[in-house]
Amino acid sequence: MCGLAALFEVGRRFDRELLSAIDADLFHRGPDSGGHLSEEGWALVFRRLAIIDPKSQSDQPMRSADGRQALIFNGEIYNYRALRAELEQHGVSFRTEGDTETLLQGYRTWGEGVLDRLEGMYAFCLVDLARNAVI
């Protein structure tokens, strides 16, 4: 299982030293890659054990192209290929081949309704800056 952490505190900017320490603590959960993303009030930290789409384009935290959503995800969405095909029919283009971006694009297309479409075992945290929401 990958390692993930989400931190939230209104008005706080999480310093790089703290995020790096969390990243180091999670290293054993995902030696393939890691990173963190933060803005005022929130931070996402991720250590990746790459199984589906091990290319660097699938590294996390993953942010939407317009920067409005950020996601950390662990697990497997069994039906991600079918969801991806449906999203492509809606004109969505993908940068990766994996289920993480499928979840991100599914959320952007269907909102929280994407959760009803998912088949699998997973945990995630999605920060939606456009709606000022955390899923």
Q: In 3D, which of 75, 60, 77, 80 has the Cα closest to residue 127?
A: 60
* Secondary structure (3-state) at 13: coil
> Cβ neighbours of residue 124 under 8 Å, at least 6 residues apart?
4, 71, 72, 73, 74, 75, 103, 135
Name the catalytic one among 1, 2, 53, 116: 2
Q: How far, in Å, CA of 112 to CA of 106, rounded?
A: 9
* Cα separation values, 20 from 34, 35, 47, 97, 133, Å: 10, 8, 11, 28, 25
- The yes-or-no answer on residue 2 being catalytic is yes
Give me the active site residues, please.
Answer: 2
